[in-house]
Amino acid sequence: MTTQATRGEVVLNQVSRTFSGLRAVENLDLTVHAGEFLSLLGPSGCGKTTTLRMIGGFDRPDTGTITISGERVEHLPPNRREVNTVFQSYALFPHMDVAQNIAFGLRQRGIRRADLRSRVADALDLVQLTKFANRKPDKLSGGQQQRVALARAIVNRPSVLLLDEPLAALDRQLRDQMQVDLKLLQADLGMTFIFVTHDQSEAMSMSDRIAVMCGGRIEQLAAPSTIYDAPETAFVASFIGQQNFLDGTLSEDRTTVYGVGWSLPMDAESTVPSGAAVKVAIRPETTRLSTVDEHDGCALGAKVLTVANLGAHVRYVLRLDGGTEFIAVSPRGEDSIRPNDSVFVIVDPRRIIVFSAAESTDVTQPEPLIAAHPHDRSHS
């Protein structure tokens, strides 16, 4: 039994899935709110695609329950769930035109001709393809083919739309435009979207919330701004955006972090015990460079290695006095800092995040913004 109040809500409770003795998803708890745009984000092999496939009915969990719109579905095949899936490969029928591709699912369900035409017309309008209704897929661009795949998925009016890296095959400019279009489409429909990606910029730009996954578990589930500004683990801190990590030790009074050739005061709260080995996370854009130590105790001495003009911003690669490489990003201005200059990195102690070194073994860097090969993603 479903109710309007819960239509589109997805709940996973203690869901696990193992392949050949390897745990792909482990005791996963997740609630996706009705009408929410939620992204499952993480590197290959983290369990995000396996989670999506279990929600869609293409894979069954070994343990746990999956509820969609108030109904237990883990035992049901895909065609008996209120979901549709858009895959990275568009899987359009080449012998059918755009309208026929979109209408295919409705015809399979025996929808009346008049209703079918009306719903196909509405779907074409939503994805702005009305004038392409009679074209074959091979006469469309990649972005247009992706829109056809979206229209075919939403024309059945599912309560949940699952999207498995649907933009990965598009070039960067088209992908950026499709991100905007997808978010606008989701807002117009008020439909629950669950989006799988390894591209942090996609997740940050479109999502209401992001579930960052690693090793078959959710490391953090929160709004994009929270994920970025207040990561709960070193893995999340490293995977979202660019991050500098410095190895240090937290003082006994928990007010200072000491490293090789540097020390920094710490205003932020931390659960790390005093005297413990730590990793200090500092975002490049939260720092400022100066040729004089204008903030006693809040500056790191460094030498400039490279300067790169990125348009609106300038990126500096530095070597701290203790030998660690460090990246700083500043708005483009009038400063005249050049390679080989000696500078001070001014750090805001309120923006420092400290993690226990013992719990930071999964620190990584984001994957390149390219599509993974299919054989690398089968159990991701």
274 with 343, same domain: the answer is yes
15 with 66, same domain: the answer is yes
Considering 176, 194, 229, which residue would you say is the last residue of a domain? 229
What are the tens digits of pLDDT across the range 259-273? 988 888 887 677 888
Confidence at residue 296, expressed as pLDDT on a 0 to 100 scale: 66
Confidence at residue 368, expressed as pLDDT on a 0 to 100 scale: 30
Model confidence band, residue 8 (pLDDT cutoffs 50, 70, 90) = very high
pTM here is: 0.86
251 with 132, same domain: the answer is no
Specify if 126 maps to a domain: yes
What are the tens digits of pLDDT across the range 265-302? 887 677 888 889 999 999 999 999 988 876 667 889 99
CA 167 to the chain's CA centroid = 13
Q: What CA–CA distance (Å, rounded) separates 74 from 311?
A: 50
284 with 337, same domain: the answer is yes
Specify if 368 maps to a domain: no
What are the tens digits of pLDDT across the range 22-57? 999 999 999 999 999 999 999 999 999 999 999 999
Tokens found for residue 168? 């990965």
What are the tens digits of pLDDT across the range 236-253? 999 998 899 999 999 988
Confidence at residue 6, expressed as pLDDT on a 0 to 100 scale: 86
Nearest-Å Rg of the Cα atoms of the chain is 24
Q: Is 113 exposed, middle or buried (0-12, 13-18, 19+ CB in 10 A)?
A: exposed
Residue 372 pLDDT more than 80? Answer: no
CATH number, domain containing residue 293: 2.40.50.140
What are the tens digits of pLDDT across the range 179-197? 888 898 899 889 999 999 9
Confidence at residue 378, expressed as pLDDT on a 0 to 100 scale: 40
Question: Total structural domains in the chain?
Answer: 2
Q: Greatest CA span in the chain, whole angstroms?
A: 76
Average pLDDT, the chain: 87
220 with 296, same domain: the answer is no
211 with 296, same domain: the answer is no
- Interval 68-92 mean pLDDT: 90
Q: What CA–CA distance (Å, rounded) separates 27 from 95?
A: 44
Cβ contacts of 313 within 8 Å, gap of 6 or more? 285, 329, 330, 331, 332
Confidence at residue 376, expressed as pLDDT on a 0 to 100 scale: 36
Specify if 373 maps to a domain: no
130 with 98, same domain: the answer is yes
Which comes out higher in pLDDT, residue 365 or 67? Answer: 67
Model confidence band, residue 110 (pLDDT cutoffs 50, 70, 90) = confident
Q: Which range has the worst mean pLDDT, 50-64, 211-225, 336-350?
A: 336-350
58 with 192, same domain: the answer is yes
Specify if 372 maps to a domain: no
306 with 162, same domain: the answer is no
Residue 204 pLDDT more than 90? Answer: yes
Please state, as a whole number, how many other Cβ atoms lie within 10 Å of the Cβ of residue 108.
Answer: 10
Q: What CA–CA distance (Å, rounded) separates 176 from 199?
A: 12
203 with 268, same domain: the answer is no
Model confidence band, residue 363 (pLDDT cutoffs 50, 70, 90) = low
Domain ranges, residue 343: 242-358
Specify if 367 maps to a domain: no
Considering 229, 250, 283, which residue would you say is the last residue of a domain? 229
Considering 173, 205, 229, which residue would you say is the last residue of a domain? 229
Model confidence band, residue 366 (pLDDT cutoffs 50, 70, 90) = very low
Specify if 249 maps to a domain: yes
Contact 185, 191 (CB under 8 A): no
CATH number, domain containing residue 192: 3.40.50.300
Side-chain-side CA neighbours of residue 137 (13 Å): 18
Specify if 369 maps to a domain: no
Q: What CA–CA distance (Å, rounded) separates 190 from 274?
A: 48
DSSP-based three-state secondary structure for 51: helix
- Interval 307-314 mean pLDDT: 89
Which comes out higher in pLDDT, residue 359 or 223? Answer: 223
CA 192 to the chain's CA centroid = 16
DSSP-based three-state secondary structure for 137: helix
223 with 252, same domain: the answer is no
Residue 21 pLDDT more than 50? Answer: yes
101 with 160, same domain: the answer is yes
Specify if 364 maps to a domain: no
